């Protein structure tokens, strides 16, 4: 990769800023000052520094975002705020980020954001059965019949017959945290992600979703310290759990 291009990817600099830094003697490759912007370096092998600080090349990056209501799961949209628009400018520019799948505009919670296309594809492939856990505030309490229907792989409507899903009541602690002002809730774990699927499944059993939040996906749980609209990088352990969740399936 050209040295100036490497700087733009790793620092968020513009190409002209990168050229100025190189020509100004601020960049070293393997401890030698380099002033030729078009010089090629091996991004995963060469030791590159800017002002004495090592620049580490990452091919892929992984984030968890606590998606707020009112944002769309897209890289760009003509009318609405996108989830990618919540990221810092330097993160958006240098990493070519995109959301892993979609959450409805009014749905909140865990959304994975990355530039790793192969892993994203595996996480979204129905045959991989990556778990997705949702908490839902409902119009009425769930019944044992509801639980059995979800587990059976129910016919939702003329367009959708859902794979078996796990429906359960929230624990006391879960309910207290998820519904601090009261109400009725439930947890549902899916292995697919069709359009409005959770809402359609509850509608099929005569219930209504009043509020929906995704809590986990592929073995990664939403960090409770993240306020809506905030994000952080996944830890190495979390990335490993994501990969393991779809390995060999």
Q: Which residues of 79-88 are buried (b: 16+ CB within 10 A; e: fewer)?
A: eeebbbebbe
Alpha carbon dihedral 108, 113, 119, 123, in 10-degree steps, equals 0
Beta pairing partners, 110: 66
Active-site choice (104, 106, 116, 223): 104
Q: What is the DSSP string of the chain?
A: -BHHHHHHHHH---HHHHHHHHHTT-EEETTEE---TT-B--TTTS-EEETTEE----S--EEEEEEPTT-BSSS--SSS-BSGGGS-HHHHHHH--EESS---TT-EEEEEEES-HHHHHHHH-GGG---EEEEEEESS---HHHHHHHHHT-B-SSS-BPPP-EEEEPPHHHHHHH-TT--EEEEEEES---TTHHHHHHHHTT--EEEEEEEEETTEE--TTPPTT-EEEPPHHHHHHHHHHTTT-
Is 116 known to be catalytic? no
For residue 12, give the nearest of 95, 133, 82, 111 by alpha carbon.
Answer: 95
Residues acting as catalytic residues: 104
């Amino acid at each position: 990769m050209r040295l100036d291009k490497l700087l733009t990817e790793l620092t968020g600099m513009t190409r002209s800023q990168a050229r100025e830094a190189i020509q100004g003697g601020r960049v070293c490759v393997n401890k030698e000052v380099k002033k030729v912007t078009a010089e090629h370096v091996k991004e995963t092998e060469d030791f590159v520094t800017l002002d004495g600080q090592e620049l580490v090349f990452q091919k892929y990056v992984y984030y968890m975002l606590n998606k707020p209501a009112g944002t769309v799961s897209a890289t760009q949209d003509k009318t609405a705020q996108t989830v990618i628009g919540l990221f810092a400018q330097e993160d958006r520019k240098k990493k070519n980020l995109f959301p892993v799948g979609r959450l409805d505009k009014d749905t909140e919670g865990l959304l994975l954001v990355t530039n790793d296309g192969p892993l994203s594809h595996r996480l979204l492939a129905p045959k991989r059965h990556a778990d997705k856990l949702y908490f839902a505030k409902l119009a009425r309490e769930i019944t044992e019949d509801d639980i059995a229907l979800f587990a059976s792989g129910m016919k939702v409507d003329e367009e959708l017959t859902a794979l078996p899903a796990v429906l359960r009541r929230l624990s006391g602690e879960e309910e207290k945290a998820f519904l601090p002002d009261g109400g009725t809730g439930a947890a549902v774990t899916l292995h697919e992600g069709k359009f409005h699927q959770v809402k359609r499944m509850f509608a099929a059993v005569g219930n209504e979703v009043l509020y929906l939040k995704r809590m986990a996906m592929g073995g990664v749980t939403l960090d409770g310290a993240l306020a809506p609209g905030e994000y952080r990088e996944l830890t190495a352990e979390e990335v490993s759990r994501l990969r393991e969740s779809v390995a060999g399936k």
